[in-house]
Amino acid sequence: MAEADRILIAGGGIAGLCLAAALDRHGFTAEFVERSVIPARPAGVTHLMLLTGDGCFFGLVPVGGGGTYGFAGLDGERFADPLEGRLERFRRRFGGFGGPVPAYLAALEHDAQLHFGAIEWMELDRWHQGRAVLAGDAAHATPPHMGEGGALAMEDAVVLAELLRSASTVEDAVEAYEARRRPRAEWVQQQSRIAAQAWVRPAAERDAILREAAMEYLEELRLMVQQHPEQWHTFGEFLVHAVPLLKKP
């Protein structure tokens, strides 16, 4: 590629620069998430935990330095959650959860520890135009339920850099970039949207489906372990298997 070739690579996340704003499908999953970190580890939090309630969920993740990351979401129409009084409202909303949640809520100290936001996603018909190209959330923001958005953004950067080195023109590179990245980004978006719906299903419906999914999964796991004892299923594989079942009416 000639030294004089110029390219505009735009990031900026979902709220940032959107080259193709007029073409986009920008969605809202009708879910809100409050995120926070406490400098403590409630008893029982040894790995990622997800507790589901009626139209809501509470997740806990051990993080470095003995801290814990908490993410709690609920279903509903758009609403604002001003900073003042946020902690009190948060404790009221999620006070019905058991397990390590009460200890987590008690360890929070002030409103500003809670980051509040709507769960949004965006699908664009194309990620590039001429020599301008989008990467990361600006191209394919997804609900965070698969925990993959950050990985997608980094993968985009690696692939784009590789193609810009090997392609003969910028136009060829951005064309090849979108062709290579789109299937993966769309798969993550689709799975994440299904998970976003599943996590806030009414409790009775969700529990019945989970029981059915768990039975099927356990049977598959039993056969797999019998046939290939050296293999092990990861949480991600479980999600991929269980999520389509959760989608069933």
Ligand X SMILES: Cc1cc2nc3c(=O)[nH]c(=O)nc-3n(C[C@H](O)[C@H](O)[C@H](O)COP(=O)(O)OP(=O)(O)OC[C@H]3O[C@@H](n4cnc5c(N)ncnc54)[C@H](O)[C@@H]3O)c2cc1C
Choosing from 150, 202, 236, 244, the residue that interacts with ligand X (CB under 6 A) is 150
Smaller CB distance to ligand X: residue 142 or 164? 142
142 by DSSP, 3-state: which? coil
Measured from the CB of residue 220, what is the shortest distance to ligand X in angstroms? 27
Q: In terms of CB distance, is 48 or 106 closer to ligand X?
A: 48
HSE, side-chain direction, 13 A CA sphere, residue 187:
8
Footprint of ligand X on residues 155-214 (CB under 6 A)?
Answer: none
Q: Which of 57, 144, 170, 188 binds ligand X (CB under 6 A)?
A: 144
Taking the least distance from each CB to ligand X, the nearer of 70 and 144 is 144
Contact set for ligand X, span 80-119 (CB under 6 A): 117
> b vs e for 45-77, b when ≥16 Cβ sit within 10 Å of the residue's Cβ?
beeebebbbebbbbbbbeeeeeebbbbbbbbee
Identified binder of ligand X from the candidate list 48, 83, 118, 151, rule CB under 6 A: 151
- Which of 104-112, 136-144, 209-217, 223-231 is the region at the interface with ligand X (rule: CB under 6 A)? 136-144
- Out of 5, 11, 89, 131, the only residue in the binding site for ligand X (CB under 6 A) is 11
CB of residue 12 to ligand X, shortest distance in Å: 4
Show contacts of 103-110: CB within 8 Å, 24+ apart: 103/40, 103/42, 103/43, 104/38, 104/42, 104/60, 104/68, 104/70, 107/38, 107/39, 107/40, 107/42, 107/68, 108/36, 108/38
Q: How many CB atoms lie within 10 A of CB 196?
A: 21
Q: Which helix (H) or strand (E) holds 115?
A: strand 115-123
Q: Examine residue 137 and tell whether it contacts ligand X (CB under 6 A).
A: yes
Nearer to ligand X, 151 or 208 (CB): 151
Angle at 49 between CA 218 and CA 65, to 5 degrees: 135
Residue span binding ligand X (CB under 6 A) among the ranges 6-14, 96-104, 204-212, 224-232: 6-14
For residue 125 the two structure tokens come to 């018909």
Smallest separation, CB 7 to ligand X (Å): 17
147 near ligand X, judged by CB under 6 A: yes
Q: Residue 203's Cα: distance from chain center in Å? A: 21
Taking CB under 6 A as the rule, does residue 244 contact ligand X? no
Binding residues (CB under 6 A) for ligand X: these are 11-13, 16-17, 33, 35, 117, 136-138, 144, 147-151, 153
